Amino acid sequence: MKIWGVTASAFADLREFIDVLERGGELCRVPAPVDPDLEIAEIVDRTVKSGGPALLFERVLGSDLPLCAGLFASERRMAIALGVERVSAAGDRMRAMLGVLRRPPTGISGMIRLLPQLKPLLSMPPRRVSGPAPVQEVVLRGAAVDLSRLPLLRCWPADGGRFITLPQVITADPDTGARNVGVYRLQLHGPQALGLHWERHKGGAAHYARSRAVSRPLDVAVALGGDPVSIFAAGAPLPEGIDEFAFAGFLRGRPIELCRAVSVDLDVPARAEIVIEGSVDPEDLLPEGPFGDHTGFYDPGGPYPVLRVRAVTMRRDAIYPAVVVGRPPSEDHWLLGHGGEAVFLPLLQAVFPEIADLHVPAEGVANNLVLVSVKKRFPGHAYKVAYGLLGLGLLSLSKVVVVVDDWVSVQNAAEAWWSALCNCDPGRDVLLGRGPGSVLDHALQGFSFGGKMIIDGTRKWPEELGGVPPGRRAWPEPVAMDPAMVDHVSRRWQEYGLGTDPGPTGARVPDRGAGWSGERTGQ
């Protein structure tokens, strides 16, 4: 199927994705019995950090269900999940759509020509299925529910307990009914109770706050599994008001199939592996945590709402999906960081067309560091972009924003830091401020509030230097090989007898835009 001129593929569910990974040599089965208490986490952590395959643990102690992990923990597996040749191509669908919207059709003939492109998008909202759904082949209610029989992990020695690590937590706005789907950890408190770690900046927390304001319980459904794009969309930094399941349908080129939950007033993925249903009372709180989180440090947790479970539905042969978070790089970097920046870069460029690229490196654990390259057109342009990013959605939680020129590859963090540090005078080019921060950031001066830093690592214009004092050296050119020689060596490489050509080093001659002209170089 083509959507906005780009071929889209879609997996029906998690098991179809697992099957494709296994046939492609991207998944390994583990037949040996393994313990969900620390042992699985250590196995997965070693495998992910060494670039190994996804894992399907067939015999998990204390549970009848197999557990899969590492499904998204590489560039290739993320691309397969999103149905593209490379992860960056996932943004092509967004870019093509935005291109159409920027050039609306004129006249009847233009609208008629646009209809074939609009039809896929208009058909992407979730579709409710009729009849029995696969995820409701088994239905457990009341006392028959025992969440301890699920293969929930305890990942690190000081963790406060076992918890669900890869959920799609579904809620509806008590006022408008608008749906939110998010990835929030859930600690096992008992056979029918889960602690819900709702971070204050997320959509689920907003629904909870509104339910508290009217003293009304909030229905919650927790889906485990389903198609991989839905799992990705649940953790994606979507703008407020965008339905995650509708967005997943757009990305995969096929609507998400939903069914009515059996005990709460919510729709859930019909082809999920497991769905946990219940409600949260606004005044029902229990201590949650501590947990080793994606920052690589323990989060102490605190009092969080409790999900009282009414029912669990599942497939007869359900597979339990999990991720292991901890010191980077871990799987969430690929799933939420690398995948997210590729898909949402076109949206950022629609707001800030001067942005060439953006990268959130694994070491920055999502919120600590943003590297962004810009096509600089005027003095202070780097700060204009950085301020904009720090006021935009979940990017507002970022601590450090480093801005470099557009010819610098921010996907190569070493290259970005090299350019930024060489072009930066800390006394002049570093700005400090304050703003909201992640609730998981232990270093902030207050809970989810602390400092910001902007580093202008771009080539400076005279105005940014306060004029050019006599005797100041000219701003130097970066070192780059002559392109003709690069091509010459590539053609002759086999003659040198040096084995496989590693390819050019990537050093490029910068584009000579306005900021590079003779009178605007800071010389």
Q: Which of 45, 267, 293, 456 is catalytic?
A: 293
Burial degree of 278 (CB within 10 A; 0-12, 13-18, 19+): buried
Q: Which residues contact 73 (CB under 8 A, 6 or more apart)?
A: 47, 48, 54, 330, 331, 334, 335
Number of H helices, E strands in the chain: 14, 25
Give the single-character DSSP code of 190. Answer: E
The residues, any chain, with a CB within 8 Å of residue 434's CB and separated by 6 or more, are 449, 450, 451, 452
Contact 370, 338 (CB under 8 A): no
Residue 345: CB partners within 8 Å, gap ≥ 6? 91, 355, 357, 358
280 close to 220: Cβ distance less than 8 angstroms: yes
Mark whether 293 is an active-site residue.
Answer: yes
In angstroms, the CA 151 to CA 255 distance is: 30
- Work out the number of other CB atoms within 10 angstroms of the CB of residue 88: 17
Cα(first)–Cα(last) distance of the chain, in Å?
Answer: 54
- Within 10 Å of residue 26's Cβ, how many Cβ atoms? 19
Q: Quote the CA–CA distance of 522 and 428 in Å, as a whole number.
A: 15
Contact 187, 160 (CB under 8 A): yes
CA distances from 117 to 1, 10, 120, 243, 340 (A): 12, 18, 6, 21, 24
Could you tell me whether strands 54-60 and 27-34 are parallel, antiparallel, or unpaired per DSSP bridges? parallel
Specify whether the CB–CB gap between 315 and 134 falls below 8 A: yes
Name the residue among 296, 328, 299 with its Cα closest to residue 440: 299
Residue 176, number of CB atoms within 10 A of its CB: 10
CA–CA gap between residue 244 and residue 75 (Å, rounded) = 22
Other residues' Cβ atoms within 10 Å of the Cβ of residue 308: 17
Could you give the 3-state DSSP secondary structure of residue 69? strand
How many other C-beta atoms are found inside a 10 Å radius of the C-beta of residue 379? 16
Catalytic residue positions, numbered: 293
